[in-house]
Amino acid sequence: MATTIPAAHQMGVRIAESRRGFAAATVPAEGNGNHFGVVYGGVVFTVAEILGGILALSSFDATRFFPLVKQVDIKFVGMATTDLRAEASLDEDTIVAVQAEADAKGKADYIVEAVVTDAGGNVVAKTHGQYQIRTHPS
Kindly tell me if the per-residue pLDDT of 48 is higher than 90: yes
Kindly tell me if the per-residue pLDDT of 2 is higher than 80: no
Q: What is the pLDDT of residues 28-44, one digit of tens each?
A: 999 999 999 999 999 99
Q: Which domains does the chain have, with CATH numbers?
A: 6-135 (3.10.129.10)
Q: What is the pLDDT of residues 91-117, one digit of tens each?
A: 999 999 999 999 999 999 999 999 999
- The partner residues of 132 in beta bridges, in order of sequence, read 68, 109
Of 131, 126, 106, 105, the residue nearest 115 (C-alpha): 126
Give the list of residues 6+ apart from residue 23 with CB closer than 8 angstroms, or none. Answer: 15, 17, 51, 54, 55, 58, 87, 88, 89
Q: What is the pLDDT of residues 57-94, one digit of tens each?
A: 999 999 999 999 999 999 999 999 999 999 999 999 99
d(CA 6, CA 9): 5
Confidence (pLDDT) at 1: 74
Confidence (pLDDT) at 22: 98
Task: Tell me if 122 sits within 8 A of 82, measured CB to CB.
Answer: no
Query: What average pLDDT does this structure show over 19-32?
Result: 97
Confidence (pLDDT) at 41: 97
